[in-house]
A and B are shown apart, each in its own frame.
Chain A
Amino acid sequence: DVKVTQSSRYLVKRTGEKVFLECVQDMDHENMFWYRQDPGLGLRLIYFSYDVKMKEKGDIPEGYSVSREKKERFSLILESASTNQTSMYLCASSLLGGSTDTQYFGPGTRLTVL
């Protein structure tokens, strides 16, 4: 089974802090994604990566950056956390770049910014 793990299930940070959310997949997938999930808005794509050191902006990249130094690891960085970044963050991976590929999701990190 594909396993996507996220470093924390719950995280509480203060405004202005730099926050790192880590995601690791164990199935040699090429593609990795970061989504934000908010009630009534569904999932919105923040960033994605098709290869190591490659990244592309999604629909809501403002205030976020990403890093993919190794194929299995994709990090989401909040350079200076703000209260409007309080949300559930979901990481996903897929095998190749095909449009019909299944995405496999981690359990999510619920981030609260005070």
Chain B
Amino acid sequence: AQSVTQLGSHVSVSEGALVLLRCNYSSSVPPYLFWYVQYPNQGLQLLLKYTSAATLVKGINGFEAEFKKSETSFHLTKPSAHMRDAAEYFCAVTTDTGRRALTFGSGTRLQVQP
């Protein structure tokens, strides 16, 4: 079975500062990893996904994430935070074996201060 741990349920940054949201996974087989974002009063939408091609993945709205197998991590970053980035972010994992449904982390709420 696979799992995801997101460190930090709340992260606060200043506008223009670096955003770093942490995600560590556990899987006995090669994982596929996803970051989804949920803006207030909306459903989730995909930011980016790692599907075993390039380890550095670029997504929408200037976000990117790097798959590091040695650290079992898939941290999400953005060089410069914007007020519109305030949202909840979820990391998720799946694999090719067993159930092909996503297993989500507990989420990180990002607050951006003016």
Cβ contact within 8 Å between A90 and B100 = no
Q: How many residues of B contact A (CB 8 A)?
A: 26
**Interface of A toward B, CB cutoff 8 Å:** 4, 33, 35, 40-45, 48, 56, 58, 90, 92, 97-100, 102-108
Give the chain A neighbours of B42 by CB distance below 8 A.
Answer: 107-108
Given contacts A99-B95, A99-B96, A100-B49, contact A105 B43 (CB under 8 A): yes
Give the chain B neighbours of A35 by CB distance below 8 A.
Answer: 104
Q: Which of B3-42 contact A (CB under 8 A)?
A: 6, 9, 32, 36, 41-42
Which residue from A33, A40, A90, A104 sits with its C-beta under 8 Å from B106?
A40
| 3 tightest Cβ-Cβ pairs between the two chains A and B | A105-B43, A43-B104, A42-B104
Interface centre among A45, A100, A105, A107 (most CB of B within 10 A): A100
Q: Which residue of B lies closest to A97 (CB)?
A: B100
Cβ contact within 8 Å between B101 and A45 = yes
Which residue from A42, A97, A98, A106 sits with its C-beta under 8 Å from B90?
A42
Interface centre among A44, A58, A105, A107 (most CB of B within 10 A): A105
Given contacts A42-B90, A100-B51, contact A33 B43 (CB under 8 A): no
